[in-house]
Structure 1
Amino acid sequence: MLSSVNSLSNASILIVDTGRKGEMRQCEALANACGLPWRFTKNDQIPPDEPTLILSFGRALRQAWRLKAAFGGRPLIIQLGRPRLKAPSELDLILLMPQDDYPEGPQTLHLNMPLNGADLSRPAIPADTTQGPVSVLLGGPTRHFSFSDNDAQVLLSRAERLAAATGTALRVVPGPRTPDHVMQIVEERYRQTPDRIDRRPLSTVLAESGRLVVTADSASLIADAWRTGKPTWLYPLPVRLPPVQRLKIMADRITPELRHTLIRRGWLAGGTDFSRWHRALVQQGLVRPLTEQGLKKPDWHMPFPIPDEELRACRDRVIALIADRKPASSRAER
């Protein structure tokens, strides 16, 4: 017991900075939940003090592995998102994102929602009011989704209908990934009502909105919107299938266990399946699709209360790993 207490009191966290705000907010949420001192590192910088554990997200695992080696292999590695070409048995814990298509195992914890906006002090999603405007949180095209001019027009038309049906105002909130061609459509459409374009910080928009519309490309924004407790509507963008995803689908038609075996050996990186996750969210009643069918119930809202315990579960797994870690003196004796 005493060694466990000492291991926690002397523990620290190093976060590999990916430069992606949504990813880093999840790492920060987990580090803060653990109640341990933490810091960022980037550009292959090696800090002077050895961390107890390293948090890496996505492709940052490569840098995390180099840092682990620089400290004699001692720090634990907690990976958020599927690890690329690294056997899960080589990692201490893998926190899989909800869209990750990756086999379950003793080192994995598959999240139902990203950790954006998660708060230990709030174990359930609050029942919020629907007072305030309908705010459209615009994303943009990614490797997995396209975002055409027609998508922008259909999205705005449906959002306008939702606002009209609920007797509320409409606000359109551009994001850092929103392409110029979509912004041109937005600015032209609201040339006579420019106040509909809301460029305030996301936190302000979330607090003052009554309903939220999120484009399907951003898992982080879906989590941020859902955790407000406000009705969250999901606009389904056309899905792109990268070559790796096409190969995955072909392999699964033959023998899905073969692909999982290759992943467990670190020979294959795994894949993503956003559509499966989005369908699950709709089936669970956590979000509403902004489709013709979905608009038939404009006053839809989530059932309450809804538990939100995933950050606590992640924290507990990390703390247990640190507590079970052998003291430095014991490792030296071995």
Structure 2
Amino acid sequence: MTKKICWILTEGMAGTENQCLGLAEALGLDPEIKRLRPRWPWRWLPVGLWLAPLVAQNPTASSLAPPWPDVLISAGRKSVPVALAIKKKSGARVFAVHLLNPYVAPVRFDLVATPRHDGLEGDNVIVTEGALTRITKARLDDALDAHGGRLAALPRPRLAVLLGGASKHFKFTERAAGELALLLRAMVTETGGSLMITVSRRTGADVVARLRAGLEGVPMEIWEGEGANPYFAYLAAADAIVVTNDSVSMACEAATTGKPLYVFALEGTSKKFDAFHENLCARGIARPFDGSFEKWTYEPLMDTERVAQAVRKRLGERMDEPTGERQK
């Protein structure tokens, strides 16, 4: 694909922004990230009431002015009216891709990619199993080169443990941390292996402290946010992976590796998250974590490349369209 100018338009949340970056990287694009910071009165209004959405951006935030990009990748509800306004201002020249449910008619975008658990369908909708990721073999190999010497000292099998935290639907309590520690210790005792544990921004200090206490003496490494993040190295060095069920992104990143994936349930529930994890289990990708260690194989998730292929195909078709057809 000819090198094109790409913008990423989000509300600044790391999870959705990473999905956009994953798609841009899969397309071979070097995107410029535009983070929305709506000013008064827009920031207090539902997005359906946003008149002149391009004027909503705070003047001190990312500029949303010509020259317009060739490809616009947006995610998040507040990005929807802004992305559509950019497409209109460009005379429909901008190829607009939206990730996740836009909550408007999908046909208003050139392409929409949304997880199966969102239940959205349409001629220009690509249904994914979950979130897009930035996981590639090259990225994992590079991370292992940077951290592999240190991690090689940990006995195998190595279990990568990806921790989430409190959210709208889930609670990561000290009680849950204690239960997880017992299961992890049981697995290490059974296998003679080790743990590589990484926290997220939502992981509470009390949870980490409870895990450390419950895993005292267990061969492990815990990354708590200091120094270079070994997240990708943990995925590369792991023989199996455990994720907490409060994150779709972490599970999808783990499932992209093709390695056995265990899910540890936190307190709480979410219809969409439950449907997502049930689908992973039904497809033979994931299993509930009960402290035992098993090996199995499955076809790794390739949602990011699948969406990238759809974008390339539609961009190729678009180049053959008369300009007037794009503006209809």
TM-score after normalising by structure 2 = 0.74
Task: Give the 3 Å change call, closer, same or farther, for CA 159–117 of structure 1 in structure 2.
Answer: farther
Instruction: Find the counterpart in structure 1 of residue 87 from structure 2.
Output: 68
Instruction: Find the counterpart in structure 2 of residue 125 from structure 1.
Output: none
Instruction: Find the counterpart in structure 2 of residue 226 from structure 1.
Output: 255
Instruction: Find the counterpart in structure 2 of residue 203 from structure 1.
Output: 232
Matched, 1:302 2:319: no
Instruction: Find the counterpart in structure 1 of residue 165 from structure 2.
Output: 140
Instruction: Find the counterpart in structure 2 of residue 236 from structure 1.
Output: 265
Q: How do residues 2-41 of structure 1 correspond to structure 2 at under 5 angstroms?
A: 9=2, 11-41=4-34
Identity fraction in percent: 26
Matched, 1:186 2:211: yes
Secondary structure (helix, strand or coil) at the match of 2:209 reads helix
Secondary structure (helix, strand or coil) at the match of 1:325 reads helix
- Distance in 2, matches of 1:163 and 1:324, equals 53
Instruction: Find the counterpart in structure 1 of residue 279 from structure 2.
Output: 280
For residue 68 of structure 1, report the CA deviation from its aligned partner.
Answer: 2.7
Output the aligned Cα RMSD.
Answer: 3.1
- Distance in 2, matches of 1:71 and 1:104, equals 27
Query: Which deviations, in whole Å up to 9, do the C-alpha atoms of 1:26-78 show, x marking residues without a partner?
Result: 22222222234532222342154221221011223233234334434432321
- The one-letter code of the counterpart of 1:12 is I
TM-score after normalising by structure 1 = 0.73
My pick for the range that moved more, 135-144 or 55-64, is 55-64
Query: Which deviations, in whole Å up to 9, do the C-alpha atoms of 1:270-297 show, x marking residues without a partner?
Result: xx61112211211221112113xxx4xx
Instruction: Find the counterpart in structure 1 of residue 188 from structure 2.
Output: 163
Query: Which deviations, in whole Å up to 9, do the C-alpha atoms of 1:114-146 show, x marking residues without a partner?
Result: 221444999xxxxxxx93422321101222322
Please tell me whether the aligned partners of residues 113 and 128 of structure 2 are also in contact (alpha carbons under 8 angstroms): yes
Task: Give the 3 Å change call, closer, same or farther, for CA 140–308 of structure 1 in structure 2.
Answer: closer
Q: What is the number of residues matched between the two proteins?
A: 282
For residue 307 of structure 1, report the CA deviation from its aligned partner.
Answer: 5.3
Secondary structure (helix, strand or coil) at the match of 1:197 reads strand
- Distance in 1, matches of 2:158 and 2:237, equals 8
Instruction: Find the counterpart in structure 2 of residue 49 from structure 1.
Output: 67
- The one-letter code of the counterpart of 1:40 is I
Secondary structure (helix, strand or coil) at the match of 2:316 reads helix
- The one-letter code of the counterpart of 1:79 is H
Instruction: Find the counterpart in structure 1 of residue 309 from structure 2.
Output: 316
Secondary structure (helix, strand or coil) at the match of 1:49 reads coil
Instruction: Find the counterpart in structure 2 of residue 261 from structure 1.
Output: none
- Distance in 1, matches of 2:138 and 2:174, equals 42
Match for residue 325 of structure 1 among 313, 318, 325: 318
Gapped runs of 5+ residues in structure 2? Answer: 37-56, 58-62, 140-154
Secondary structure (helix, strand or coil) at the match of 1:40 reads strand
For residue 309 of structure 1, report the CA deviation from its aligned partner.
Answer: 4.1
- Distance in 2, matches of 1:177 and 1:109, equals 30
For residue 196 of structure 1, report the CA deviation from its aligned partner.
Answer: 4.5
Secondary structure (helix, strand or coil) at the match of 2:74 reads strand
